[in-house]
Amino acid sequence: MGEKIGILGSGGWGISLAILFYRLKYKIFLWEPLRENYEILVKKRENVEYFKGIKIPKEINISNSLEEVVVNSEIIFITVRSSFFRKTVELLKNHYKKQPVIIGTKGLEYNTGKRMSEIFKEFIDDEKLLVLSGPTIAREIAKGCPTAAVIASKNEKIAEYIQKLISSEKFRVYTTNDIIGVEIGGAFKNVIAIGAGIIDGFKLGINTKAAYLTRGLNEMIKIGVFLGGEEKTFRGLSGLGDLITTSFSKYSRNRSFGEGIVKIGKEKYLEISKMVIEGIPTTNAFYNISKKYNVELPIVESIYRILYEGSCPKEEIKKLMVRELKKE
- What does the alpha-carbon distance between residue 315 and residue 323 come to, in Å, rounded to a whole number? 12
Q: Are 42 and 56 in contact (CB under 8 A)?
A: no
Amino acid identity of residue 39, one-letter, is E
Sheet holding 27-31, edge to edge: 61-63, 27-31, 4-8, 75-78, 101-103, 129-133, 147-152, 171-176
Q: Using CA of residue 315, residue 317, residue 318, residue 320, what is the dihedral sign?
A: positive
Q: Which member of 121, 189, 209, 268 is catalytic?
A: 189
Q: Are 61 and 29 in contact (CB under 8 A)?
A: yes
CA triplet 249, 254, 258: central angle to 5 degrees? Answer: 100
Q: Are 79 and 11 in contact (CB under 8 A)?
A: yes
Q: Are 46 and 197 in contact (CB under 8 A)?
A: no
- What does the alpha-carbon distance between residue 259 and residue 158 come to, in Å, rounded to a whole number? 40
- Catalytic status, residue 326: no
CA triplet 287, 185, 181: central angle to 5 degrees? Answer: 105
CA triplet 87, 89, 93: central angle to 5 degrees? Answer: 120
Q: Give 39's contacts (C-beta < 8 A, 6+ positions apart).
A: none
Q: Within 10 Å of residue 315's Cβ, how many Cβ atoms?
A: 12
Catalytic amino acids?
189
